[in-house]
């Protein structure tokens, strides 16, 4: 029997086939899960729909996570079509370009709010609606973070602050939803070339830096994040909740 046979997963955050959420989707699909996808806008629909349909997905819905009515609609549809939900993947983040290049000290109030809303609060908005669908099903929620939450990574700026809030949210959600048997975890991935990464100034030097200094002396592959998500969202991770698991070739353990 496959690891996720009979499981139903909602995936938020596929932009294209380089997205971390897509690597996770491929890992879940290979292990027998049925998947539903959301996309953030019409332009993305053109990229997400063919990918989703290619692996047999029948539920493909618009969802800008800053709009409560779109979020509500997604979970109403999941309830109607599936009756319940086993897995939720949250792989969403956004900050204004200038806030990922100017000094952090210059972050505007509006830029701060936007990054926090899309990148941190959205997990709470999704989890609170997913939870009623996950009861009695040992549900699992997983989000994506980056070590810019723990240490200063030049240019990551407001996103590092949003990721710190996201990781704290993972712990509070794990506490709240644990009694219902729902687990909540984060994967702290090493740098990967994706659309979101393209917004970070001098991203290339982050890749070089990691390959030089990480214990494994290399960068990671998105499929390695997929495998860790599989562990966290399957029975293999049944006693793991509230954790931030680093998938970064060990980079985060280095002091010098």
How far is the C-alpha of 96 from the C-alpha of 115, rounded, in Å?
A: 8
Is 156 one of the catalytic residues? yes
Per CB under 6 A, does 10 bind ligand NAP?
no
Only segment of 8-16, 150-158, 175-183, 228-236 that touches ligand NAP (CB under 6 A)? 8-16
d(CA 163, CA 166): 5
Residue among 65, 71, 184, 186 that touches ligand NAP (CB under 6 A): 65
Given a contact cutoff of 8 angstroms between Cβ atoms, the answer to whether 118 and 71 are in contact is: no
Task: Respond yes or no: is residue 172 known to be catalytic.
Answer: no
CB-CB contact of 183 with 174 (8 Å): yes
Residue 40 binding ligand NAP, by CB under 6 A: yes
From the candidates 156, 172, 231, 251, give the one annotated as an active-site residue.
156
Q: Is 127 a residue that touches ligand NAP (CB under 6 A)? A: no
Binding flag, residue 102, ligand NAP (CB under 6 A): no
* 24: exposed, middle or buried (Cβ count in 10 Å: 0-12, 13-18, 19+): buried
CB of 146 to ligand NAP, least distance (A): 4
List C-alpha distances in Å: 198 to 171, 234, 243, 244: 29, 31, 27, 24
Query: Contacting ligand NAP (CB under 6 A), which of 2, 6, 32, 41?
Result: 41
Q: Would you count residue 144 as binding ligand NAP (CB under 6 A)? A: yes
Number of residues located near ligand NAP, criterion CB under 6 A: 28
* Catalytic member of 39, 104, 121, 146: 146
Structure tokens at 235: 């029975």
- Render 199-227 in DSSP notation, one character per residue: TSTTHHHHHHHHHHHSTTSS---HHHHHH
Determine if 174 is a binding residue for ligand NAP (CB under 6 A).
Answer: no
User: Which SS3 state, helix, strand or coil, does residue 39 take?
Assistant: strand
Annotated active-site positions, please? 146, 156
Residues that bind ligand NAP (CB under 6 A): 13-15, 19-21, 40-41, 44, 63-66, 91-94, 118, 144-146, 189, 191-192, 194-197
């Amino acid at each position: 029997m496959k690891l996720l046979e009979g499981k139903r997963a909602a995936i938020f955050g596929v932009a294209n086939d380089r997205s971390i959420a897509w690597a996770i989707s491929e890992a879940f699909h290979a292990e027998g899960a049925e998947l539903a996808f959301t996309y953030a806008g019409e332009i993305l629909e053109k990229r997400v729909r063919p990918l989703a349909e290619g692996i047999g997905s029948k539920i493909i819905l618009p969802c800008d996570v800053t709009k409560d009515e779109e979020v509500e609609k997604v979970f109403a549809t999941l309830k109607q079509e599936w009756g319940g939900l086993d897995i939720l993947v949250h792989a969403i983040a956004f900050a204004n370009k200038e806030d990922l290049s100017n000094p952090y000290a210059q972050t505007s109030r509006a830029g701060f709010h936007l990054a926090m809303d899309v990148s941190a609060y959205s997990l709470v908005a999704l989890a609170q609606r997913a939870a009623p669908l996950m009861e009695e099903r040992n549900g699992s929620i997983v989000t994506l973070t980056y070590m810019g939450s723990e240490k200063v990574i030049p240019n990551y700026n407001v996103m590092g602050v949003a990721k710190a809030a996201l990781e704290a949210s993972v712990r509070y959600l794990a506490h709240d939803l644990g009694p219902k048997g729902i687990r909540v975890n984060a994967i702290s991935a090493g740098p990967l070339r994706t659309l979101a990464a393209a917004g970070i100034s001098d991203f290339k030097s982050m890749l070089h830096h990691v390959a030089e200094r990480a214990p494994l002396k290399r960068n990671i592959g998105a499929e390695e994040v997929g495998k860790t998500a599989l562990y966290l969202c399957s029975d293999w991770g049944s006693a793991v909740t509230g954790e931030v698991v680093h998938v970064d070739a060990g980079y985060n353990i280095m002091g010098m």
